[in-house]
Amino acid sequence: MLHAWHFVAWLFVGRGTLLGADTTITAKQITRVYEMVRSHHLVDTRSIELLRKTEANHMLSHDPCSARPPLGKGTIMKTKKFLTIVALAICMTLGLVACGRASDANPSSGAEGSSQADASADGEAATEDFYISEITDEIFARIKGKSFKDDCTLPREDLRYLHVLHKDIDGNVHEGEMIVNKHIAQDVLDILRELYENDYPIERMKLVDEYDADDELSMEDNNSSSFNFRFISHTTRISKHGLGLAVDINTLYNPYTKVVDGERIIEPITGEPYLDRDASFDYKIEPGDLCYNLFIEHGFEWGGNWTDRKDYQHFEMPDEKIAEWYPENVE
Ligand SMILES: [Zn+2]
């Protein structure tokens, strides 16, 4: 299709009708080009008819009854030249449109071009579904006074919003949102994209603000999240979730537990059945699985490896990184 248009454009330029003073093209030739255009279905019929009418009015009509005075030879030649330019412009425009369509049809020609439907078809995640954004006013309005508490000492500029896709255990695709620290935004985005592309199940990924920043409610709903500002108890140091430098995945099935004064604490409280890590159940994180491996590869530590407590849902940046990025936050 594209070649046909290039041929038509070449026909006009090649004849010297556009650039040369000698206008040799005839109305018959223009009509033939119109027919070519129509036969290739490259322009809608209405446009062709419009051009035909223009041609008829300006070049062929010598009707003495017409209000328009008869055209002299010089005027006809100028009109022919004008029509030639118009026809050439149409040819070039349609040629460009054809080029654009050809590009759209080729998924490898532009990362921006593919849609979510394309992504589902070939199993690849589309760029526009996985992105990082600064905390816009709109996003900030959602977190202010909730995860971004009134006493939040972390600058808003240090946070990033992630938009991703994730799949639940049945393979249903969901949109996911997460707010993390700027230092790990790209890593977390890459991890979540790879989990999605490999069908690793994540049930829910909403901002904790949708639970009024209540961790227990979020965990009971098996929500995966990161940023929720808080200080480490009885200190002015910010916790790793408070810095957006820790990520919790599939929280109901991967609970936190610790024994304090002989009493076992479980968070969420409804996660108790999943403390038995030898049992088999959906959404369970285990050493060596894809989720575990990806976070470890990207420099995170897993709370399931701790000895004084277990936090099976939890991946965090090591203390050395906190010291590097937030030295004032270290004891
Ligand atoms: Zn955590």
Model pLDDT, residue 127:
73
Distance from the alpha carbon of residue 286 to the mean position of ligand 1, in angstroms: 16
Q: Could you tell me the residue ranges of all domains in the chain? A: 6-105, 123-329
> pLDDT tens, 282-299?
999 999 999 999 999 999
Distance from the alpha carbon of residue 132 to the mean position of ligand 1, in angstroms: 21
Stretches in the chain below the pLDDT threshold 50: 1-26, 30-31, 33-34, 37-72, 75-76, 79, 83, 85-91, 93-122
Model pLDDT, residue 305:
98
Residue 44's contacts (CB-CB under 8 Å, 6 or more residues apart) are none
pTM for this prediction? 0.64
Distance from the alpha carbon of residue 282 to the mean position of ligand 1, in angstroms: 19
Distance from the alpha carbon of residue 179 to the mean position of ligand 1, in angstroms: 13
Distance from the alpha carbon of residue 252 to the mean position of ligand 1, in angstroms: 12
Distance from the alpha carbon of residue 328 to the mean position of ligand 1, in angstroms: 22
Residue 243's contacts (CB-CB under 8 Å, 6 or more residues apart) are 154, 158, 181, 227, 322, 326, 329
Model pLDDT, residue 234:
87
Distance from the alpha carbon of residue 136 to the mean position of ligand 1, in angstroms: 25
> pLDDT tens, 78-128?
545 554 544 444 445 444 444 434 333 333 333 333 334 344 444 566 678
Distance from the alpha carbon of residue 246 to the mean position of ligand 1, in angstroms: 6
Is residue 256 packed enough to be buried (19+ CB in 10 Å), middle (13-18) or exposed (0-12)?
A: buried
